Amino acid sequence: MRKKRGRKEVLKLENLDSNFNLSSCIRLKNFSISFIAIILGLTGFALAFLKAETILGLPLLSPYLLKFAVIMFGIVSIIYLTKLVFFPKEVKKELSHPIKLNFFPILAKILLVLSIIFLGVNLMASKYLWWAGVIVQFAFSIIILSAWISHKKFEIHHINPAWFMPIVGNLIIPIAGITHFSAELSWFFFSIGIVWWLVLFVIIINRIIFHGPISDKLIPTTFILFAPPAIAFISYVKLTGGITPFAKILYYFAIFIFILVMAQIKAFTRIKFYLSWWAYSFPVVALTVATLLMYHETKLGFFKFFSWGLLIFLHIIMVLLILKTAIAIKRKEICIEED
């Protein structure tokens, strides 16, 4: 009897072990490239806090936020590289997916944001990060724009504000680029970003107004609408050395789109949690940094007040996103088979 019980217990343990391994493999297989958006949000949060420390005199917390972001970057990178080794076909599917394809260039944005953060910490590290970001951004710009031009399967319902992501990175390049290399290269990338932003903006607005509504899963990406003009404002100020009329147009248009998006608050409160919620983070980071820069340049009290408001809003968003993501991971509601 004892031997039979012993065998049964061994078989149960073996079944549990095999089920655990199978579950782990399935979750690894479904580990989406969209996880990288979490890292962009965390690094952006560190950047926003760094600028607030300098301009508003906030306590020195950005180094700790940066460390956390870098650690998470390492974890996500290791997991996705493991997926690439064991499930290369799944990675290939994401590269050909009309929406997930646009998440791969986020790697360039992370490198470029890190290069901005390191400008005042380690100039050499900032330079290496910047060059890495430039190369990755340019490569993905060519690859993805080529895919858009030569496609045979993309339809108007596939487009959404996430399609800005492969292009917006070009607008980030001049922020640190003006320090690391000739301004002409920064103008080159700024030109690419600003023109393609206008082209895509018209197409996306057309899609939103004249075609079916965006799915619940992609509703958070509407926050991305105000990120390009906010980032373009920061870059243009860096390129020209001050607040020009065109810079004001970019900034105030970003503010208008932000207000317009916030007016749709009911749409955001009714949807359940998806990883796409992380689209709330970086656009608010961009607008916060742009407003801090506006205050730094103009010294107008309104922009100081607005900066504080955006910082508080950003903190609420980040706490909510981190908690929601942790709960979803614990409940195994992500890394599952998608429709």
What percent of the chain clears pLDDT 70, i.e. is strictly above it?
Answer: 91
CB distance 106 to 165 below 8 Å: yes
CB distance 193 to 232 below 8 Å: yes
- The position carrying tokens 């970001």 is 133
pLDDT at 149 over 70: yes
pLDDT of 170-201, one tens digit each?
A: 999 999 999 999 999 999 999 999 999 999 99
Range 184-191, long-range pairs (CB < 8 A, 24+ positions)? 185/134, 186/235, 186/238, 186/239, 187/239, 189/134, 189/137, 189/138, 190/232, 190/235, 190/236, 190/239
The pLDDT value given to residue 122: 92
Question: Residue type at 119?
Answer: L
pLDDT of 224-281, one tens digit each?
A: 999 999 999 999 999 999 999 999 999 999 999 999 999 998 888 888 888 889 999 9
**Residue 104, SS3 per DSSP:** coil
pLDDT at 4 over 90: no
- Please state the rounded mean pLDDT for residues 3-25: 48
Domains of the chain as residue ranges with CATH: 22-330 (1.50.10.150)
Q: Decide which of 187 and 337 is more confident.
A: 187
d(CA 60, CA 115): 19
What percent of the chain clears pLDDT 90, i.e. is strictly above it?
Answer: 64
pLDDT band at 285 (very low <50, low <70, confident <90, very high): very high
The enclosing H or E element of 61 equals none
The answer to whether the Cα torsion of 133, 138, 144, 148 is positive or negative is: positive
The pLDDT value given to residue 17: 45
pLDDT at 60 over 60: yes
| 128: CB partners within 8 A, 6+ apart | none
pLDDT of 202-230, one tens digit each?
A: 999 998 888 878 888 889 999 999 999 99
